[in-house]
Structure 1
Amino acid sequence: MSHIPNLDPNVAAQKGFRESEERLKRFWTSVSVEARDGAHVVLLDGRTPRTPAGAIYALPTEALAAMVAEEWAAQSEFIEPASMFASRLAATAIDRVSQTREAVAEEIAAYVGSDLLCYLAEHPSGLVAEQTRAWAPWRDWAARDLGCRLEATQGIIHRPQPPESLTRVRDLALALDDFALSGLGLAVPLLGSAVLGLALQRGVLTGEAAFDLSRLDEAFQERQWGIDADNAERTAARRAEAVLLERWFRAL
């Protein structure tokens, strides 16, 4: 399964994000948000920063603009692009997803064909029971609330899902605006599940809860064998991203 492309560009910021190998110094003093032409723009000392493609950061809601502005305001002497999740995702929505909506929606729908929630372990029995108990309600939710029926199996052998379920998720993705679609395009591969991604996007699951559901196997193994320090760091970073995605969706 290929990951959804170009939804988290590694960019640096200077009067808008642009690629650079140098550490860039903060060049502004004040950060504000202004309503303009039906959108909300972020201002640095009264001037609009630009995306890598040169577009203005025009956000659909005041809350989302505030989330982006908060990141710019939090920068210290040197700009740390890795700390600017919402700003990077907003740039992706404006520059890339707006131009590739069909491709992003197709990739999201493709995850339905091998959705994490459909592949239960064969053993041990404790893990199987935990996955059954935790995941079955969300497959039921997908069928009831999304019109997306999914069939579960045990083991790693691929089980095809109903084509109409893939089509339904694709249509749901295309019905979103560029900003929600960008968030969903990042959430689905992070969680390994279109169902969990849509539940997060719709506010039915929190970022923490969705992430915990996505890693039942890992958590089970950790309880049996302990936690590796490097893996714990990676897990914490991924969990933080899920929480930020929850904030992103709530701000829309």
Structure 2
Amino acid sequence: MLRNALRLYSKGSLTVYCCPVMTRQKQTCRVLESRRTYSSAMSERKKFYQDVSISHGEGGVFEINLDRRKLKTPGGKLFTVPNEALAVAVATEWDVQRDTLKFYTMHMTTLCNTALDNPTQRNKDQMIAAALKYLETDTICYRVEEPPGLVQLQKTEWDPVMDWIEKRYNVVIGSSSNIMGPTIPEETKDIFRQHLASFDFWALTGLEYVITQLKSVILSFGLIDRHLIVEKAVQLSRLEEEYQIHHWGNVEWAHEYDLQELRSRTAAGVLFVHLSSESATMKRKLLQDLEFPQPRKPWN
């Protein structure tokens, strides 16, 4: 599963700094301020270093060094990660950059920055509540009534995943063709809330990123629990779009690019969840497995 995610992630893609929609004025201002702070991290920059290395920091954390400079977050904090596995992934992102640093291809770095700076100043409870909001509008809970071909496709492709998650967590979710979607029982929300609470802040950061990519808690849980591979989860999240493209055609390069971008972002989030949960010492075998090919060049 991790190799699959790593392979897809390594194709390179567009980084999107994800933060949930907030309604309160104070929270909105905080989000806007965070976007201004992080805007510099989203642009390209001339490469200013030659060597990348990893070192131990205080408290068992790992630091990234660019030549002799310690990497810092956009918020000015010392860039530290909780284990060696994640440090290797981040260091490799920096190592494969060429003459120009393309920050939008560096998902691991961006997700770490998010966890370290927490620019929207949310705690775990707020992150869990935001994730559960997606359950109420989950992609695979909404079914169409026509055309018959799409109705059957949704049933064939989505029902097995729905059956799996309901059995896996002993919950009831259901689906609906009503624009309001299904009514999710409070017992189901409570079970998922407890499950999400078992993740630490770093893992929740990655999981929320995956959920926002797929617009689905169900598919995201399928990935994290290793029930689905990235390609399948992305295909299921785009089922209706792919059906329409099959019947009406598409702009070939744009469709393929969007598909690869979504796969790459999703794989990065899944990889981040798993790597942020690794033990502090990573075996040499895993070090050898974490090979990031050079990201492909973005479209002009």
Q: What band does the TM-score fall into relative to the shorter chain?
A: 0.7 to 0.9
Q: Which amino acid aligns with 1:157?
A: M
| In structure 2, C-alpha distance between the alignment counterparts of 1:40 and 1:160, rounded to whole Å | 45
Residue in structure 2 matching 1:193, options 216, 219, 228: 216
Q: How does 1:86-235 map to 2 (within 5 A)?
A: 86-96=108-118, 99-100=121-122, 101-229=124-252, 230-235=254-259
- Greater shift after overlay, 38-47 or 85-94? 38-47
SS in 2 for 1:114: coil
The worse-fitting range, judged by mean Cα deviation, of 121-130 and 209-218 is 121-130
Does the 8 Å CA contact 1:108/1:169 hold for their aligned counterparts? no
Report the equivalent of 2:40.
19
| Cα distance, 1:219 vs structure 2 | 0.9
Which amino acid in structure 2 is aligned with residue 177 of structure 1?
D
Question: 1:251 Cα shift?
Answer: 2.3
Which has the larger displacement, 191-200 or 40-49? 40-49
Instruction: Using the aligned pairs only, state the percent identity.
Output: 27
- SS of the equivalent of 1:120 reads coil
Q: CA deviation at 1:126?
A: 1.7
The one-character-per-residue Cα deviations of 1:32-59 (angstroms, maximum 9, x if unpaired) are 1223332222221243211122222222
Distance in 2 between the 1:135 and 1:225 partners? 22
Structure 1 distance, partners of 2:88, 2:36, is 20
- TM-score under structure 2 normalisation? 0.73
Unpaired segments of 5 or more residues in structure 2? 1-17, 22-30, 277-300
Query: Which TM-score applies when normalising by structure 1?
Result: 0.86
- Please list the CA deviations of residues 81-123 of structure 1 after superposition, one character each: whole Å capped at 9, or x if unmatched: 1111110111001111794122221110111112112111111
Please list every run of 5 or more consecutive structure 1 residues that lacks an aligned counterpart in the other structure: none
Deviation at 1:28, TM superposition (A): 1.5
Aligned length: 245
Instruction: Give the superposed CA RMSD.
Output: 2.6
More RCO (CA 8 Å, sep 6+): 2
1:11–1:81 contact (8 Å) kept in structure 2: no
Q: Which residue of 1 aligns with 2:51?
A: 30
Cα distance in structure 1, aligned partners of 2:63 and 2:83: 9
Q: Distance in 2 between matches of 1:118 and 1:197?
A: 14
Shift of 1:176: 0.8
Equivalent of residue 77 in structure 1, options 94, 99, 106: 99
Between 1:169-178 and 1:84-93, the stretch displaced more is: 169-178
SS of the residue corresponding to residue 79 of structure 1 reads: strand
